[in-house]
Amino acid sequence: MLNVSEVSKTFFPGTVNERRALDDVNLQLAAGDFVTVIGSNGAGKSTVLNTVAGRITQEKGVVELENRDVSKLKEHQRAAQIGRVFQDPMAGTSPNLTIEQNLSLADRRGYSRGLRLGVTASKRERFAEALKVLELGLEDRLRAKVGLLSGGQRQALSLLMATLSQPKVLLLDEHTAALDPQRAELVTRLTTKIVKEQKLTTLMVTHNMAQALEVGNRLIMMHEGRIILDVSDEEKEKLAPGDLLAEFSKIKGAVVDDKTMLQ
Amino acid sequence: MITALELGLIYALVALGVYLTFRILNFPDLTVDGSFTSGAATAAVLIVNGTDPFLASAAAFVVGALAGLITGLLHTKGNINGLLAGILTMIGLYSINLRIMGGANIPLLGEDTLISGLRDVAGSGWTSVLVLVAMALVFKLIIDWFLHTDSGLALQATGDNEQMITSFAVSTDRMKIIGLMISNGLVGLGGAIVAQFQGFADIGMGIGLILVGLASVIVGQAIFGTRVVMQATLAVVLGAVVYRLAIQFALNVGLNPNDMKLMSAVLVVAALLLPQWKGFQRIAQWRKNRTALDAAGDATLTSEAKTHGEKVR
């Protein structure tokens, strides 16, 4: 489904700040794979996601979606098949538009946008139905501006919007990191539920080891732009946070950031 | 008074255009100073050469839209800062406008124009004001409708959150170009009708127009509110009329037409500074509380969200 092969990326090449963010990364996701990505700060987790999304152009290597090379496509062109939820709860929704208008924008992903009304009675019904999954009562507030919602509500809505038109690949970039524990738990639960129901091929970056072990069928650990651990299915089930920490400490000089230590 | 109302309603087209870029796209577009004159010049030349005034005005819309297209391309494909892109187009248009007109001024006296047609049908009293009210409302409603279509929503989201709308497969470059084209098209059309109203097109008629548009948008929205798009566009139309009445008042108390640019600037500054003044904030808070109470009363019926903490649009 998703194939990242021999992708490299260096930031600020030729300057004192030169940093190798990705170093010949190879990553293949089968249809329906739910992969969690962990690693210390600067390990290249988000860079992988941004390379797949087209926000960052790699210097070398190929990104393929369903056997089609998308390396040359722009971010918005790839977005026709890729759903994304960002870390910042404010980033995934349009605050001045209403809930139903935001959903309508999400609903048209991959289709042309013409001069038909964005929200109609039948669409409204469908959106309300979709919102019920969130169990936040948003289905009764369809005409409220999204800017009025709390961070947790907005992130749950972002998740629903990202998955509304069933993308080929779903990219989650620490999408629960900015939420309080209760909301983070809710969004994680919704993520598992939606991904499972729609059988979405998912790549999820997280800082939270417990979360990385708890969700998904496969886990990869990154360090200094390389994938240093790749476990799936039963092997992953057997792992405990302690094992991951041990894995981290094997890497000489690796700095495990505070958030990771706290888990 | 009637003249001020009529002019205000014609300038409402310009104000709606400025609203699209300034408020919806969040793009301070200075192209309008040039595209306004381009519209006027195009229509004037065509009318003098015997073209139907409706067609001539439509052509003015197209020429204005082309000016917007250039600014849009400079900004999105050329990565030129938005303000600078607008200024570049505006300056370039000055020469183009002189070329179109073949001189600095084209008189339209005695020609068949939209306004002479209006005078034949409705005279120059309240009837003609009503006709112009209808025209302004038609354009307002078209914009309301457009902003609620799939494209229009994408345009709004482009001004609101580029990262988000990009992630839903919309090219923000394309939306910005479309927005700039519609906006400058409206401004060009406004220029064409203003030229027909005053009986001539002049190379200097667009100078400072951005302030006229901004003043209308800001003053209108400060007075009449911005809660939903339909209210915001109505506020813009009314703002254009209020602005004209304010100018009329200034002329009546003894200022001369040459003072008008300063008046526009002072009016915009006042509209921007007043809301920051503490006393004004208290009034605004009091008003907000009142509407919040009203909304709370309605909440059981509509479950509509309250106006608390909403961003001004």
- The string of pLDDT tens digits covering residues B37-90 is 999 999 999 999 999 999 999 999 999 999 999 999 999 999 999 999 999 999
Check CB contact under 8 Å for B149 and A162.
Answer: no
Question: Alpha-carbon distance A68 to A79, whole Å?
Answer: 14
- pLDDT band for position B298 (50/70/90)? very low
- State the Rg of chain B over Cα: 20
Q: Provide the pLDDT for residue B311.
A: 42
E strand or H helix at B200:
strand B200-202
CATH placement of domain A2-261: 3.40.50.300
- Nearest residue of A to residue B168, measured between CA atoms: A109
Interface test with A, best of B26, B142, B147, B164 (most A CBs within 10 A): B164
Joined together, the tokens standing for residue A144 give 């409220």
The answer to whether A162 faces chain B, any CB pair under 8 Å, is yes
Q: What is the distance between the alpha carbons of residues A50 and A83, in angstroms, rounded to a whole number?
A: 12
| Residue B312: pLDDT over 70 | no
Question: B310 falls in which pLDDT band (50, 70, 90)?
Answer: very low
Structure confidence at residue B12 (pLDDT): 98
- Check pLDDT > 80 for residue B294: no
Cα of first residue to Cα of last residue in chain B, in angstroms, is 30
Give contacts of B311 with chain A, Cβ < 8 Å.
95-96, 147
Q: Which residues of B touch A114 (CB under 8 A)?
A: 149-151
- Using CA coordinates, name the residue in chain B closest to A89: B164
Domain residue ranges of chain B, discontinuous segments joined by +:
2-205, 278-313
- Using alpha carbons, list the distances in angstroms from residue A35 to A29, A203, A226: 8, 5, 16
Tell me the chain B residues in contact with residue A50 when contact means C-beta distances shorter than 8 Å: none
- Closest CB from A76, A90, A148 relative to B305: A148
CA–CA dist B107, B114 (Å, integer)? 15
Find chain A residues with C-beta within 8 A of B165's C-beta.
94, 105
CA–CA distance, A39 with A259 (Å, rounded to integer): 11
What is the model's pLDDT at position B222? 85
Which residue ranges of chain A lie beneath pLDDT 70? 251-263
Q: Which two tokens stand for residue B308?
A: 């608390």
Subunit contact B169:A106, Cβ cutoff 8 A: no
| B305 vs A90, A113, A141: nearest CB | A141
Is A152's Cβ below 8 Å from some Cβ in B? Answer: no
Position B293 confidence tier, pLDDT thresholds 50, 70, 90: low
A86 interface with B at CB cutoff 8 Å: yes
CA-based nearest residue to B200, from B6, B4, B48: B48
A118/B161 CB distance under 8 A: no
- What pLDDT is attached to residue B258? 86
Which residue from B169, B308, B310 is facing A110, i.e. has the nearest CB?
Answer: B169
Q: Is B46 left (phi over 0), alpha (psi -120 to 50) or beta?
A: alpha
pLDDT of residue B303: 36
Which residues on B lie below 8 Å from A65 (Cβ)? Answer: none
CB contact under 8 A, B161 and A106: no
Mean pLDDT of B258-263: 86
Q: What is the pLDDT of residues B165-198, one digit of tens each?
A: 999 999 999 999 999 999 999 999 999 999 999 9
Q: Compute the nearest-CA separation of A160 from chain B (Å).
A: 13
**Smallest CA–CA distance from B167 into chain A, residue:** A79
Q: What sign for the dihedral angle of Cα A209, A215, A221, A225? A: negative
Distance from CA of B165 to the nearest CA of A (A): 8
Q: Is B102 helix (H, G, I), strand (E, B) or coil?
A: coil
pLDDT value of residue A254: 53
B172 and A76: CB-CB below 8 Å? yes
Inter-chain Cβ pairs, chain A and chain B, closer than 8 A: 106
